[in-house]
Structure 1
Amino acid sequence: MKLALVLFAASSFALASCAQAPHGRPDAAIAAAVASPDRPAADVQRDAARKPAELMAFAGIKPGDRVADLIPGGGYFTRLFSKTVGATGHVYAVVPEEIMKIAPKSLATAQAIPTGAYANVSVISQPLSALSLPEPLDVAWTSDNYHDVYGFAGAAAAAQLDAAVYRALKPGGVFIVVDHVANAGTSDASSHTLHRIDPETIKQQAQAAGFRLEAESSVLRNAQDPHDVPVFAPTIRGHTDQFVLKFRKPG
């Protein structure tokens, strides 16, 4: 019995620790990506709040990886991924057609990312139900977007997103979801009105698609966020309470 308790405690500590520990991941490559002079000044100014080095270490992104940035927005993370994976890796900026209906300029914005400094970036736009990438992925990532898919395209579209990511990842691949915290049980309303989502909603949908929840990171948590105001409210914008979930495709 004592041995079982020791083993249980050790495994629990390992799971809790993995939410923050980089596990020997390539900190030098990540640090170089964050420090790259090619990055737009506006991106650099957001680093203190978005903590990209910690998040990429948590995800395990490394040189040579194939990474999908799902719904890349202005390309903040796309450019960081590009520099981290390097010349031997590749980044896919994925703009689902469902999102183009919500944000008509999203595809054009993404297409402006692959300049000479980011030549290892390709832009893809397809329906979620038919999403197909040229090669298996090591990491799929979406930051502050899941709530938009769920709230504006619908819960079924969010489930399609999870299924598409599961298909696109290689066995053992990682799916990272970052989003704004909503109060428990309010996803159906808050995802549309507050641009927030209950993390349990994402856990349930991703696990239903076959993913295993491996870890959570608290690096973006903010206990001062009341969770009941829009994320664009001046009192909280840029400092919302955010969760970071790390799912893995078994294999």
Structure 2
Amino acid sequence: MSRHTLLRTTSGLFAAVGFGVAALALAVPVQPATAQVAAVDPGRPATDKAQDASRKPGMMVKFARIQRGDTVVELLPGEGYFTRIFSNAVGPKGKVIAAAPGESDAMKALAAESARKNVELFAGSFDSVGPAGAADVVWTSRNYHDLKGSKAPADATERMNKAAFAALKPGGYYVVLDHSAAAGSGTRDCDTLHRIDAEAVKAEVLAAGFVLDGESPMLVNKTDTRTASVFDASIKGRTDQFVLRFKKPG
């Protein structure tokens, strides 16, 4: 099941079932979290490695300022691409909390891997994405626009941003990565093209109490006209994307 299929077919997206944490069983290589090493793991599936050139996982770890021993909350982890990356980056003394709407097929498959014990599932809601004040980093990738779609609650992103703020330690980081829509388009293309204007995201996250701490051009593709669906063969896997890092004051 793809990330978008999961989001479009799961009622309410985050099922409000409380704080249900179940440890996943996956292997944690003892490696430093450098841009070179974070993306390299012989235990990662070939389908993940095939995406590395376009998704730049090691550079994303560095931009998010993820360190060994950190606690990372990943919102809507999809098929677990970044879950594995973050698991390697934080090491055996760190933790990755995958906040997902129930146990998706992809997460169940991830759980079948051997001994990555620093990853947990969190069956939360829009109002709670992890233990309060526990996270060093909250991350979401290519999901924000889905929560602005017609099938999501009207206040979904407002509630999620507040929940991210609550889950973070003072001084912690909230990173939002998504497909870029045309400048000034706001949320117009969320349903049709699966894109969102970065400025619309900034406005909402800042309203939740965060400050903008950094932006990355690493996934910019100037040849993308931002007029085609992200699933269109002409641009799939090569979309222009923005990466924003926000900080919780303190």
Task: Compute the TM-score of the two structures, normalised by the length of structure 1.
Answer: 0.82
Report deviation, 1:107.
2.5
Report deviation, 1:29.
4.3
2:110 to 109, 113, 124: 113
State the alpha-carbon separation in 2 of the partners of residues 144 and 162 from structure 1: 15
The equivalent residue for 2:126 is 128
State the alpha-carbon separation in 2 of the partners of residues 223 and 75 from structure 1: 28
Secondary structure of the structure 2 residue equivalent to 1:203 = helix
Secondary structure of the structure 2 residue equivalent to 1:116 = coil
Identity %: 44
The reply to whether residue 44 of structure 1 matches residue 49 of structure 2 is yes
Report deviation, 1:127.
1.5
Report deviation, 1:116.
2.6
The equivalent residue for 1:234 is 233
The equivalent residue for 2:249 is 250
State the alpha-carbon separation in 2 of the partners of residues 45 and 112 from structure 1: 18
1:85 to 87, 90, 109: 90
The equivalent residue for 2:3 is none
Residues 28/119 of structure 1: CA separation in 2 closer, same or farther (3 Å cut): closer
State the alpha-carbon separation in 2 of the partners of residues 184 and 165 from structure 1: 26
The equivalent residue for 1:174 is 173
The equivalent residue for 1:17 is none
CA RMSD of aligned residues (A): 1.8
Residues 28/209 of structure 1: CA separation in 2 closer, same or farther (3 Å cut): closer
Larger Rg: 1
Task: Compute the TM-score of the two structures, normalised by the length of structure 2.
Answer: 0.82
Q: Unpaired segments of 5 or more residues in structure 1?
A: 1-25, 98-105
Report deviation, 1:247.
0.2
Secondary structure of the structure 1 residue equivalent to 2:155 = helix
The reply to whether residue 158 of structure 1 matches residue 163 of structure 2 is no
- Provide, for residues 46-91 of structure 1, a one-character-per-residue CA deviation record: whole Å limited to 9, x for no partner: 1000011111111111110000111000000000100110110000
State the alpha-carbon separation in 1 of the partners of residues 176 and 54 from structure 2: 17
Bigger Cα displacement from structure 2, 187-196 vs 161-170 = 187-196
**How many pairs does the alignment contain?**
218
Of the two structures, which has the highest relative contact order with CA contacts closer than 8 Å and spacing of 6 or more? 2
